[in-house]
Amino acid sequence: MNLQEELLIRKPLDVGQEMALSMLLTREYVARFLDECLFKPEGITDQQYNVLRILKGGPADGYLIREIRDRMIARSADVPRLVDRLVAQGLVQRKEDDLDRRGSRVRLTVKGEALEARLAEPNRLLSSRIEGFLTAEERSTLLDLLERLRDGIRMALQEEKAG
């Protein structure tokens, strides 16, 4: 469906506006697809799952909160609150860092490891379904273009901060 039809936009859009809206809407569709099929049945959010995946790939003693924040997809996420919710669910544990008492280390519990492991295959299958909507050439082009956009936006943000 055409973006303007889907969003009920009557006025013409600038190309940049159309690109931004299209990416935001697509992100919303992907998030909803994963949420409905993967996260909601397990009682977690995409951001909580992101934390579980980060911790699974991390050191045995866990990551500091700031290290988790640096690895998050949603850079504006309130990581301490996400961790608190995961602690309340028994999926992670938080303990004071031996080297930096101002920070705390977070690591998966056995329950958190089990949940991450249980979701790994369904996540892979859903990702494969998403992959299947495009040809190999289209996927490669899309990934290249998205990387160029991220790089350009990252540079523009740095210029804004310096400017």
Dump pLDDT digits (tens) for 15-32.
Answer: 999 999 999 999 999 999
Identify whether residues 28 and 98 lie together within a single domain.
yes
- Looking at the fold, whether 95 and 50 belong to one and the same domain comes out as yes
Model pLDDT, residue 96: 85
Domain count, the chain: 2
Query: pLDDT of 55-66, one tens digit each?
Result: 999 999 999 999
Pairwise CA distance, residues 108 & 115, whole Å: 10
Q: What are phi and psi of 99, to 5 degrees?
A: -90, -25
Q: Is the pLDDT at 14 greater than 90, yes or no?
A: yes
Query: The domain containing residue 157 runs over which residues?
Result: 135-163
How would you classify the pairing of strands 63-64 and 92-96? unpaired
Q: What is the DSSP letter of 98?
A: S
Tell me the pLDDT band of 101, cut-offs 50, 70 and 90.
low
Q: Give me the amino acid identity at 117.
A: A
82 token code pair: 């996400």
Which pLDDT score is estimated for 22? 95
In angstroms, the CA 45 to CA 92 distance is 15
Q: Same structural domain for residues 125 and 139?
A: no
Strands (E), 22-146: 63-64, 92-96, 104-108
Q: Is residue 142 part of a domain?
A: yes
Report the pLDDT averaged over residues 22-44.
95
Q: Identify any residues that bridge with 92 across adjacent strands, giving them in sequence order.
A: 108
